[in-house]
Amino acid sequence: MVAAGISAGEQRDIPTRTVVVWCADWAAVALGRPVDRPVVVMKANRVVATSAVARALGVDIGVRRREAQRHCPEAELVERDPEREARVFEPVVAALDAVTPRIEIVRPGTCLFPARGPSRYFGGDEPLAERLIATVKGEMVVPTAVGVGIADGAFAATLAARRSAGTDRAAVVLPGCTPEFLSTFGVRTLGHPELVDVLARLGLTTLGAFAALDPGDVVARFGTEGAAAHRLARGLDLRPPRLTDPPVDLDVEYLADPPLERVDQAAFVAKALADDLHERLGSRGLAAVAILIEATTTAGHVVERRWRHDGALSSTAVAQRVRWQLDGWITGTQGRRSLGAGALARLRVRPTEVVPDAGRQMGFWGGADAASIRARRGLARVQGVLGADAVMVAEWNGGRGPGEQYRLVSVDAVAVADDEAFDLAPTGPEPWPGKLPDPPPALVWKPPRRAEVVDEAGTMVRVDRRGACSGVPARLSVESTSWQPIVAWAGPWMTDERWWDALAHRRRARFQVRTADGDAHLVTLESQRWWVEATYD
């Protein structure tokens, strides 16, 4: 049978029939809050997931914190915690193990496996899907929509699963009908915001319209990334099926002595294993797209779990997945341990599917360049010396004060974002009411430096509730150093933040001052004390 959109020569290229099990809103569900409580999961000041209740109240993915709070003031806002998501997902996958082996986790909340064997065993796709839904629902602490999709290839099956969520029935795309099924979806489903933007402007709004283009034209115009997206749109896998198994000597193994019982030990092991694996693959010019993590307990049980990623798994990504997995096994959830008795005695990571390493998707729109690769490697070394959280990057946070607008997050947290499918708008400075006028101060003291501001008579300048000064600021002393005459000043700029919250309430009066020695400071009066909050150095 030759399906529409696929030429006869490509027939053997038809992807494996795949089952995808997708739990809706997993990032929110994993928190285990009651179902009627609105939960909003944030990352970089943007909503990345919501519970069904919050969504019903109008909180959309991608909006800012303020916007989310405006729609749903009673919502609980939590930071994204991928480790927790993975840990909570482990029992669900363990339950699915009873249905079929060879389950591969794509990301917490989504897993897939080949349909053929299990489908035949349970008497067809429909009975298999029913069973899967029942199994997953039985494991859920918080009831949530579960979608099961069966189609040719993981991409189509994922879309089918998402469509079926909430209906309690599986979406089964008949063999060979996948291109037809895909053709009605919007190009947005491909990810790649830049590509989607161009396609939309070319008038290609559906996958069907995009798939109708000639593959040669697509690769000529959009490069390899565009070609990969085109393959997906035509109902093919990202890359043609591999014909050989990866060489067996790529496995990396770790014998734990003493056996691993704690999660923090696991983190170190995960990093070491991932680096080792990465080196072995790198020396052959390969990269892993799927790995098998296998653990042997002191009692002799062997547990294994597979992880998959569409792009190649970087060393950091492998380390993360191994850490999540070990965390899931060691910690377990709700008192159950999927591991059974015993600590972890032996660990093995095996790449189950490898692809030639093309230097990590350097495409039409750029991507990791040589400088970034060198930087990431060196930074990993610094993390090795000082700890994983020692290397940080600034992330737009939003706020009035100079120290609030950006906050530092571990560089690992950003690396996570790289290989996840959220297409968030690039974060950056946005208008913020009540923020200080430009220029922003070059130095923001953490903690603020003690200071004293007095008027001509030498008495401390005070500001009353209405923002009136008790005197004209005349001299400034920072940390008990010599007095400097103030030659220019402006203020007070009053901020009254979180007046509704007795504990977090802060009233501040800010001044800009310029002293005779040429310094310019942002000084703050709070609770009858003066501070130098920032310096315009």
Partner 1 sequence: MAELAAVERSELAALIEQIRPTVLSGERVLPVTSALQPVFPLGGLARGSRVALRGTGAASVCMATLAEASREGSWVAVVGVAAWGWAAAARAGLRLERTVFVAEPPPGQWGTVVAALVDAVDVVVVDPTHQVTASDARRLAARSRERGSVIVNVALDDGRRRFRWPSDPDLTLSVQTLSWTGLEAGHGALGDRVVGIEADGRRGAARARRVEVLISAGGVVVEHVPAAGAPGERAATVRHLRSVG
Q: Is 34 in the site for partner 1 (CB under 8 A)?
A: no
The 3 state secondary structure assigned to 301-346 is CEEEEEEECCCCCCHHHHHHHHHHHHHHHHHCECCECCCCCCCEEE
Kindly report whether the peptide bond that precedes residue 258 is cis, defined as omega within 30 degrees of 0.
Answer: yes
Total residues at the site for partner 1 (CB under 8 A)? 55
Give the SS3 label for residue 300: coil
Partner residues linked to 225 by β-bridges:
none
Length of the chain as a residue count: 537
Could you tell me which stretch among 110-118, 148-156, 171-179, 518-526 binds partner 1 (CB under 8 A)?
518-526
Find, among 293, 497, 324, the residue nearest to 398 by Cα: 497
Partner residues linked to 496 by β-bridges:
507
Task: State the DSSP string of 202-241.
Answer: TT--BHHHHHTS-HHHHHHHHHHHHHHHHHHHTT--SSPP
- Binders of partner 1 in range 110-139 (CB under 8 A): none
Q: Is 408 in the site for partner 1 (CB under 8 A)?
A: yes
In the complex, what is the shortest distance from the CB of residue 14 to partner 1, in angstroms, rounded to a whole number? 39
- Residue recorded with tokens 């080949």: 114
Kindly tell me which of 316 and 405 has the beta carbon lying closer to partner 1. Answer: 405
The strand pair at 406-410 and 520-526 is best described as: unpaired
In the complex, what is the shortest distance from the CB of residue 426 to partner 1, in angstroms, rounded to a whole number? 9
Kindly tell me which of 167 and 470 has the beta carbon lying closer to partner 1. Answer: 470
Could you tell me which stretch among 88-96, 246-254, 272-280, 431-439 binds partner 1 (CB under 8 A)?
431-439
In the complex, what is the shortest distance from the CB of residue 377 to partner 1, in angstroms, rounded to a whole number? 7
Side chain identity at 517, as an amino acid letter? D
Q: Is 443 in the site for partner 1 (CB under 8 A)?
A: yes
Which position among 411, 461, 476, 509 is part of the footprint of partner 1 (CB under 8 A)? 411
Find, among 23, 50, 24, 21, the residue nearest to 37 by Cα: 50
Which position among 197, 279, 369, 430 is part of the footprint of partner 1 (CB under 8 A)? 369
Which position among 438, 500, 504, 528 is part of the footprint of partner 1 (CB under 8 A)? 438
In this structure, what is the dihedral angle of CA atoms 66, 71, 75, 76, given to the nearest 10 degrees?
Answer: -20
In the complex, what is the shortest distance from the CB of residue 379 to partner 1, in angstroms, rounded to a whole number? 6
Kindly tell me which of 193 and 440 has the beta carbon lying closer to partner 1. Answer: 440
Side chain identity at 22, as an amino acid letter? W
Q: Is 520 in the site for partner 1 (CB under 8 A)?
A: yes
CA 79 centroid distance within chain: 10
Which position among 122, 268, 364, 406 is part of the footprint of partner 1 (CB under 8 A)? 406
The rounded distance, in Å, linking the Cα atoms of 318 and 316 is 5
Find, among 420, 413, 366, the residue nearest to 389 by Cα: 413
Q: Is 358 in the site for partner 1 (CB under 8 A)?
A: no
In the complex, what is the shortest distance from the CB of residue 365 to partner 1, in angstroms, rounded to a whole number? 14
In the complex, what is the shortest distance from the CB of residue 378 to partner 1, in angstroms, rounded to a whole number? 2
The DSSP output letter for 363 is B
Sheet holding 46-50, edge to edge: 46-50, 39-43, 76-79
CA 343 centroid distance within chain: 30
Which position among 202, 390, 421, 425 is part of the footprint of partner 1 (CB under 8 A)? 390
Q: Is 377 in the site for partner 1 (CB under 8 A)?
A: yes
Pair 261, 321: CB distance under 8 Å: no
In the complex, what is the shortest distance from the CB of residue 435 to partner 1, in angstroms, rounded to a whole number? 9
CA 169 centroid distance within chain: 29
Q: Is 368 in the site for partner 1 (CB under 8 A)?
A: no
Which position among 11, 224, 372, 470 is part of the footprint of partner 1 (CB under 8 A)? 372
Q: Map residues 305-344 to x or -, x wherever contact with partner 1 holds by CB under 8 A.
A: ----------------------------------------
Q: Is 490 in the site for partner 1 (CB under 8 A)?
A: yes
Which position among 1, 248, 385, 504 is part of the footprint of partner 1 (CB under 8 A)? 385
Q: Is 405 in the site for partner 1 (CB under 8 A)?
A: yes
In the complex, what is the shortest distance from the CB of residue 254 to partner 1, in angstroms, rounded to a whole number? 25
Q: Is 35 in the site for partner 1 (CB under 8 A)?
A: no
Site residues, partner 1 (CB under 8 A) = 369, 371-372, 374-375, 377-379, 381-382, 385-386, 390-395, 402, 405-406, 408, 411, 414, 428-429, 437-446, 449, 472, 478-479, 481, 487-490, 512, 514, 517-520, 534-537
